[in-house]
Amino acid sequence: MSIKIFGIPNCNTVKKARDWLSSNNISYEFVDFKKQEPTEPQLQDWLGKVELEELINRKGTTWRSLSVEQQQLAQTQAGAIELMISKPSVIKRPVLQSDDQIMLGFDDMKYANFFK
């Protein structure tokens, strides 16, 4: 099982997810959105597994700092992908990818069930 965690290192939720994986002896690869932006094919793949409304974090400071025009980009999948590539901090974090499954955010119970 190949596990990747996508996010930004200073995000508290990402830190919790990484700590949980480490404390449960689950190896993973961390992908820092600041150093390696998401790609269009990657985002299209994720959107095949989760809804657009789930993937974009509309509660975060990044979303609130966007102009109305930028927020309106997220109305369509193509616009949302363009927005997520240019501003990856708008993506709900962390994104945990295990083979062909993804999970958004962190919840210790969901992680525990997922890794049973």
Class of domain 3-114 (CATH, top level): alpha beta
Model pTM? Answer: 0.91
pLDDT in tens, 52-93: 999 999 998 999 999 999 999 899 999 999 999 999 999 999
pLDDT in tens, 16-63: 999 999 999 999 999 999 899 999 999 999 999 999 999 999 998 999
Annotation marks residue 11 as catalytic: yes
Listed by start position, the domains of the chain span 3-114
The runs of H, that is alpha helices, within 1-116 are 12-23, 40-47, 52-55, 61-65, 68-73, 77-86, 108-114
Which residue out of 3, 8, 11, 52 is catalytically annotated?
11
Burial of residue 95 (CB within 10 Å: 0-12, 13-18, 19+) is buried
